[in-house]
Amino acid sequence: MTIRVLLLADTHLGYDLPLRPRVRRRRRGPDFFANTRSALASARRGEVDLVVHGGDLLYRSKVPSELVRLALEPLLEVADRGTPVVLVPGNHERSAIPYPLLAAHSHLHVFDHPKIIEIDVSGLRVGLAGFPCERNGIRRRFGSLLADTGWAPGRYDLGLLCLHQTVEGATVGPSDFVFRSGADIIPGRRIPTGFAAVLSGHIHRHQVLTRDLAGADLAAPVFYPGSVERTSAAERDEAKGFLVIEFDCDRSSGGRVAGWEFRRLPARPMIDLEIGDRPTSDPAGWLRSRLRALDPDAVVRVRVTAEPDEAMHGALRAASLRELALPTQTVEVSWPRRTRGNT
């Protein structure tokens, strides 16, 4: 029998979404909620057997209870229909879901400590081993944390390891930086046998790792769905989405990957608008024409690369930019280090 798992991660709900905004402007917070709900649509329709959220549900740990309620709501809607949902607290939650009683549900399972979550899927035993994000020295502690879960191969028709960590070989950023070694990186050779796959959040670029840096096959592939929206300019060229993975069950091996599909989500375009030493008698008009020539749905980073004169400085103030840009755009200013300004 094949089991279908939906994997999403790094939703960062609550980012740029004050509950009582003092300024009216296009905010990015609704984008993250909309893409989270879109990612879970197939689960709400009953098209998968299990949902795993790989961590960083929230954008930070100290948030009001109302935001936690709103962030959990899309997962609870899936759980309400009887589909099991597994959640790994990430580093942005400081390894614990705030107001944990809000997550109390018979079909929502949280890795609040190292453990195994056992789920029955049509008579098949699925074992998910995992633990909250280890923010200090996972390289040293990985083996002991896995042992603390009580994991032993051969007990489940499908075995999955759920994390919110960096595994060596993962890449990020426009320069394709590769994580190779360090206290917060799991060596590929440490992934044990008995798992069909490792399902992880934390790395915002979608990728699937199958070999370590020496070229040896991993004992189980590592799946990163990536974040559901672009969180920084470093992700401007990355596709955003989630994964649906199919597994063949086999108790002797812990199962195997039968196939997988990356499903894209509609991430907003990110565009840099560079402001250097540009003499002009009408800086506000110049900025207006440049901003309004860009994609109307863009997240625009105005990069100030030279000290602006007084007139340009005034045009770059937050209130002025809200007037100059299209109301559907989101605009922020990146100042040079020597220049102080309101971003």
Quick one: pLDDT at residue 340?
47
Quick one: pLDDT at residue 121?
95
Quick one: pLDDT at residue 117?
98
Sign (positive or negative) of CA dihedral 146, 147, 150, 153: positive
Quick one: pLDDT at residue 277?
61
Q: Has this prediction a pTM greater than 0.75?
A: yes
Quick one: pLDDT at residue 343?
34
Quick one: pLDDT at residue 341?
45
From the first residue on, what is the mean pLDDT of each consecutive set of 10 residues in the chain (343 residues)? 96 94 92 98 98 98 97 98 98 97 98 98 97 96 98 96 98 96 96 97 98 97 98 95 98 97 97 77 89 96 85 88 94 75 39
For the chain, helix (H) and strand (E) counts, in that order, are 7, 19
Distance (Å, rounded) from C-alpha 57 to C-alpha 15? 11
φ, ψ of residue 145 in degrees (nearest 5): -65, -40
Quick one: pLDDT at residue 95?
97
Sign (positive or negative) of CA dihedral 234, 323, 28, 65: positive
Quick one: pLDDT at residue 312?
84
Cα 142 versus chain centre, distance: 21
Cα radius of gyration (the chain): 22
Per-residue pLDDT tens for 263-288? 999 999 999 998 876 656 788 998 99
Token pair in block for residue 287: 């900025």
Quick one: pLDDT at residue 342?
39
Name the DSSP class of 235: G
Q: How many CB atoms lie within 10 A of CB 57?
A: 30
Nearest to 165 by CA among 195, 142, 148, 147: 142
Nearest to 120 by CA among 261, 249, 258: 249
Instruction: Answer yes or no: are the C-beta atoms of 27 and 17 closer than 8 Å.
Output: yes
**% helix / strand / coil in the chain, to the nearest 5?**
20, 30, 50
φ, ψ of residue 217 in degrees (nearest 5): -65, 140
Quick one: pLDDT at residue 172?
97
